Each structure stands twice: as structure tokens, then as C-alpha cells.
């Protein structure tokens, strides 16, 4: 297994951030400092990062139905409640995939799978996300073309893929972008205030029956719908020291996009 993939599977970040970790000289395999990105890890290799042994953990994927009033961060300097307060202790090291602002609700994915997190958040993959939006006043259908064409907001040109009118004040919007507070800012620029915002779908993943504040593991079918492949469980690498040197691969490979 390529070293950056091994480190990402151990929950140390995306493959790109693991590349930076390798390049910094923080990774040691079988007692030898490694700085070549194409290094391969074999069964029995002793891998350490900054002196600590690392094992490639089995992928864990959690779906959380975030309630209003929780911030999406591991710890908050202002003492606000975080989504990690809602998780069992065994999930406290997972990384959140994307964000929902404090006042927003709905589906949030957490995982230790750096490759999957990268795929779901990088703009080049254009993963659809669906939201239910409640406005402060009646929506004008003639505003739909502007929302689809795009509006310049802080962070870039925001646009929706589709807009469906559910009631006079409630809409379903679908987007592929990930601009900060995109939905709220787009509607605000057109004279609306968003009173409630709920994410109801990530890719093909949805769960209309999950209570607010609840979380669960994804099924194999759900994981496959996000990855586009049927994932097989990886056997954890042994942390037993070995005297052999890691095999190095000289062939250049394409570096993954940054998440």
C-alpha cells in the first residue's frame, strides 16, 4: 500500500496532507526516515509518525443528524457545544466531512477515511447535496433563473443546480459547490432571510427517519454509493518492529487533488 494511503487510513488526514507529513521527514519505517512520496508499506513494516506507532485503522463512516445550535469543530474556543458532544467516545477521533453552520441542521458525515473525505469535499468531484430551505417570506418563482445562473457572494459565484418550490416559503435546493454559508448568502442577496436550513442528502445518502442528534454507521451499500466501488475491509497493519527496509517505488504517480 502506498504510504500516503496508509497514513490516511490511519486517520492522519487526506492523502495530500499525508504527503506533506512525509515530505517533512516526520515518518519513519523500520527505523529509517522516509521522505519519498512513492514509498510502499508492506505487511510487518513498523511505521511511526513523530515517534508514535501508526496502524492503518479499518474505515469507519458515521452519519450524524446534526441539530441546530452545535458547531462543526472538534473543540470551540468560545465554549459552544460541538457535534463531537453528540458522538459516543469511540467516534471522537473521526474527521467531519464538510461543514454545517451552527444554525443549520441535517446530515453530516464523519470518517477516518481520508480518501473518501477528499472525494466528497473536493470541487472537482461535484458531489450533490440537497437542502430544505425555509424563508422568511413568500418566494418569487421568477427568482429561480438567477439562482441557477449564479450570484456573486463572498467566496465566489454561488449557483444552485436545481430549485424546487415545496410551499410558498419552503424550497428544496440542490448544489454541488461548497462555498461557506452559500445558501444563506445567496438568498440574502435576493432579499430573503433563511429561517431554517436542513441538509437532507449527500450524494445518494439520505435518512429521513433518523432523529435529531442521533448517529449511526453507514451500511456497505451506502458506503459503496459514496465511493463508487464496493469497499473491502483492510487488514490492520502489524505494529511489530521489523528490521527490513521499506520497498521504494521510483515510478512517478499522479498526486491526488487536495480536499
Whether the Cβ atoms of residue 47 and residue 237 lie closer than 8 Å to each other: yes
Considering the candidates 35, 101, 136, 138, report the single residue annotated as catalytic.
101
Q: Read out DSSP for the chain?
A: -BHHHHHHHTTS--HHHHHHHHHTT-EEETTEEE--TT-B--TT--EEETTEE---PPP-EEEEEEPTT-BSSS--TT---BGGGGS-GGGTTPEEES---TT-EEEEEEES-HHHHHHHHSGGG---EEEEEEESSPPPGGGHHHHHH-EEETTEEE--SEEEESSSSEEEEEE----TTHHHHHHHHTT--EEEEEEEEETTB--TTPPTT-EEEPPHHHHHHHHSS---PPPPPP-S---SPPP---S--PPPPP-
Task: Give residue 79's Cα distance to chain centre.
Answer: 24
207 is catalytic: no
**Annotated active-site positions, please?**
101
Amino acid at each position: 500500500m502506498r504510504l500516503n494511503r496508509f497514513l490516511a487510513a490511519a486517520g492522519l488526514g487526506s492523502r495530500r496532507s499525508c504527503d506533506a507529513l512525509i515530505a517533512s521527514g516526520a515518518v519513519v519505517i523500520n527505523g529509517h526516515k522516509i521522505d519519498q512520496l512513492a514509498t510502499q508499506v508492506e505487511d510487518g513494516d513498523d511505521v511511526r509518525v513523530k515517534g508514535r506507532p501508526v496502524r492503518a485503522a479499518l474505515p469507519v463512516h458515521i452519519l450524524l443528524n446534526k441539530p441546530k445550535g452545535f458547531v462543526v469543530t472538534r473543540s470551540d474556543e468560545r465554549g459552544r457545544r460541538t457535534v463531537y458532544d453528540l458522538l459516543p467516545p469511540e467516534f471522537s477521533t473521526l474527521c467531519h466531512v464538510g461543514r454545517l453552520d451552527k444554525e443549520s441542521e441535517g446530515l453530516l458525515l464523519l470518517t477516518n477515511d481520508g480518501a473518501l473525505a477528499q472525494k466528497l469535499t473536493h470541487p472537482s468531484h461535484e458531489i450533490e447535496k440537497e437542502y430544505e430551505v425555509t424563508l422568511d417570506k413568500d418566494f418569487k418563482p421568477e427568482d429561480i433563473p438567477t439562482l441557477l445562473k449564479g450570484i456573486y457572494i463572498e467566496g465566489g459565484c454561488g449557483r444552485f443546480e436545481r430549485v424546487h418550490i415545496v410551499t410558498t416559503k419552503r424550497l428544496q435546493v440542490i448544489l454541488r459547490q461548497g462555498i461557506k454559508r452559500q445558501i444563506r448568502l445567496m438568498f440574502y442577496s435576493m432579499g430573503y432571510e433563511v429561517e431554517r436550513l436542513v441538509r437532507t442528502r449527500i450524494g445518494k445518502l439520505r435518512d429521513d427517519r433518523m432523529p435529531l442528534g442521533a448517529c449511526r454507521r453507514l451500511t456497505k451499500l451506502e458506503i459503496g454509493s459514496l465511493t463508487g466501488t464496493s469497499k473491502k475491509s483492510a487488514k490492520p497493519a502489524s505494529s511489530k518492529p521489523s528490521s527490513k527496509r521499506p520497498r521504494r517505488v521510483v515510478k512517478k504517480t499522479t498526486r491526488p487533488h487536495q480536499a
